Structure 1
Amino acid sequence: MITGATSGFGRALADAALGVGDTVIGAARHPHRLKELVAAYPARAEALEFDVTDTHRAAEVVDAVWNRWGRVDVLVNNAGRTQVGALEETTDRELRDLFELHFFGPAALTRAVLPHMRRRGGGAVVQMSSVGGQVTAPGFGAYCATKFALEGLTETLAQEVDFGVRFLIVEPGAFRTGLFDRDAAHLSEPLPEYHATVGPTREYVRTGGGSQPGDPAKAARAILTALDAPAPPLRLVLGDDAVDGVQARIASLADELGRWEAVSRDTALD
């Protein structure tokens, strides 16, 4: 079951999974956009209308899929969008809407599928995060906050769930999806005070669509490889830019921790 299956990573994953013989339930706000996929695989592809921010329907939708097909081996929480704006530029509504899409929606679907997977004795949950789940950039504060939250929840799930369910956090860098398209990217109203810091990020999102180096089809195959591995990773970083960014962050954290270690440790009661 893949949310946001009509485009980008969701569509690439649907194509890849169907290509290796899996059955795919594509959940989307506009399921008619999956009609060609369903027509090509009428016995193994199904389109389902579902807005992941409608968390009250999460259990109902998962139960319906499980009852129809008898199992959900993999849940892929993929639906998402880009948000650019300094915190001072970002409205409360914009911030809350993004958390509904990137955090509360996936949390509700994961919570809904876990009882089924527990009774069946296994399964996998894929959380489509981002390199922004570890590496920040000016203007991506709200976006990164949602991904940091999703990763923290998922890392904890991997520690507390001990009945055969695996979790995979996927952290792509810049891939040639529609994430920067007009209907996918949301730009907060700019303030002139943030032109120097957030301006370049806003311009990159406005004009960078179609120039990203990553191939979504290769990303989808990498995700399937990780899911099929005997010892799958908790995090799968995808793309040169993402690997470089995460490595730089790890080095920076280690350096800062080392420089302040003595102060940090000298805080115990005498």
Structure 2
Amino acid sequence: MTDQEVWFITGAARGMGIDIARAALEAGHKVVGTARDASRVTDVLGEHENLLAVSLDITDDAAATAAVDAAVARFGRIDRLVNNAGNFYAGFFEVISPAQFRQQMETNFFGPLNVTRAVLPVLRAQRSGHIITFSSTAGLTGQEFVAAYCASKFAIEGWMESLRFDLEPYGINTTIVDPGFFRTELLVEGASTNWPELSIEDYDQRTQSTIEAWKGMNGKQSGDPAKLAAALITIAAQERPPLRWLAGADAVQTAEDKARLLLEQADAYRELSSSLAHDDE
């Protein structure tokens, strides 16, 4: 890595992506900022000699390849890929339509896969690079009203944990970012959040009360995305960046609680679980 790196950031026109792109530029790096509409990137970040705004729908693999080609044509290389773009389909499992569930996976899981597939030939040729993918505390533990979102983030966690073994021989690092609650657009209806399409009487009251409660949380989340972005620049600059970074005190607490729960479950049935080998073993 050089002092001036090239950061390829998806979802750079809203939410956490804006702060990450801005922090990278302020650190002296070059930034390829992508969004469905490239003009939105320059609307929020302004014109900058080190900024290339590119239109990209991450669910379109051909668009991902074109965006990577544009990045290399402009800056010659890519050093950090930040898979940040995503959305949020909230609701109890039975009232999230099959189409909504598939769209959740298409954006939050297959989207990062598309972009990473497009970037990896560049990183392998360089024999260097760093893939940073945003997951969530919802990728560490199941939660109420987020069956589809948790599924997409658990999938991201498994993919990224496995990807590290594929890429380490080529000098490419991987980092999963697990943020807690941050004051972004995630809970803004029509921006990132989508409510259930279906209605089942058993769930109706719980659905409505949960939606109202979540709407009330918007703008009150404790995490500061600008601080996360600045910290991410620091994390990325380490010689061996972490395989997983828990962002926020609530994320640390969630990870600790999950680790304790797994140990408790292992201990609770240790004898039974350990008695399942063939008798001739």
For normalisation by structure 2, the TM-score amounts to 0.91
Does 2:196 correspond to 1:188? Answer: yes
Stretches of structure 2 lacking an aligned partner (at least 5 in a row): 1-7
**Structure 2 residue aligned with 1:96, among 87, 90, 102?**
102
Residues 225-267 of structure 1, C-alpha deviation per residue, up to 9 Å, x if partnerless? 1111123111111111111111111101110111111111111
**Structure 2 residue aligned with 1:222, among 205, 226, 231?**
231
AA in 2 matched with 1:69: F
**Structure 1 residue aligned with 2:28, among 14, 21, 27?**
21
**Number of matched pairs:** 269
Higher alpha-carbon deviation: 185-194 or 255-264: 185-194
**Aligned position for 1:173:** 180
Does 2:39 correspond to 1:32? Answer: yes
Residue 151 of structure 1: how far off its partner (Å): 1.1
**Aligned position for 2:276:** 267
**Aligned position for 2:119:** 113
**Aligned position for 2:245:** 236
AA in 1 matched with 2:62: H
* Cα gap change, 1:198 to 1:209, in 2 (>3 Å): same
AA in 2 matched with 1:136: G
**Aligned position for 2:4:** none
Runs of 4+ with >6 A deviation: none
CA distance in structure 2 between the partners assigned to 1:99 and 1:56 by the alignment: 18
CA distance in structure 2 between the partners assigned to 1:108 and 1:50 by the alignment: 11
CA distance in structure 2 between the partners assigned to 1:226 and 1:200 by the alignment: 39
**Structure 1 residue aligned with 2:263, among 248, 254, 258?**
254
Stretches of structure 1 lacking an aligned partner (at least 5 in a row): none
* Cα gap change, 1:200 to 1:170, in 2 (>3 Å): farther
CA distance in structure 1 between the partners assigned to 2:64 and 2:230 by the alignment: 27
CA distance in structure 2 between the partners assigned to 1:132 and 1:76 by the alignment: 19
**Aligned position for 2:5:** none
* Cα gap change, 1:231 to 1:202, in 2 (>3 Å): same
Does 2:61 correspond to 1:55? Answer: yes
Does 2:133 correspond to 1:134? Answer: no
Residues 80-121 of structure 1, C-alpha deviation per residue, up to 9 Å, x if partnerless? 122211111111110111111111110111111111111111
Secondary structure, aligned partner of 1:229 = coil
CA distance in structure 1 between the partners assigned to 2:204 and 2:253 by the alignment: 26
CA contact (8 A) 1:138 1:197 kept: no
AA in 1 matched with 2:105: F
CA contact (8 A) 2:34 2:41 kept: no
CA contact (8 A) 1:84 1:201 kept: no
Residue 199 of structure 1: how far off its partner (Å): 5.3
Residues 106-153 of structure 1, C-alpha deviation per residue, up to 9 Å, x if partnerless? 011111111111111101111011111102211111001101101101
AA in 2 matched with 1:227: A
Q: Percent of pairs identical after alignment?
A: 37
CA contact (8 A) 1:98 1:143 kept: yes
AA in 2 matched with 1:181: V
Secondary structure, aligned partner of 2:173 = strand
Residue 23 of structure 1: how far off its partner (Å): 0.8
Residue 201 of structure 1: how far off its partner (Å): 4.0
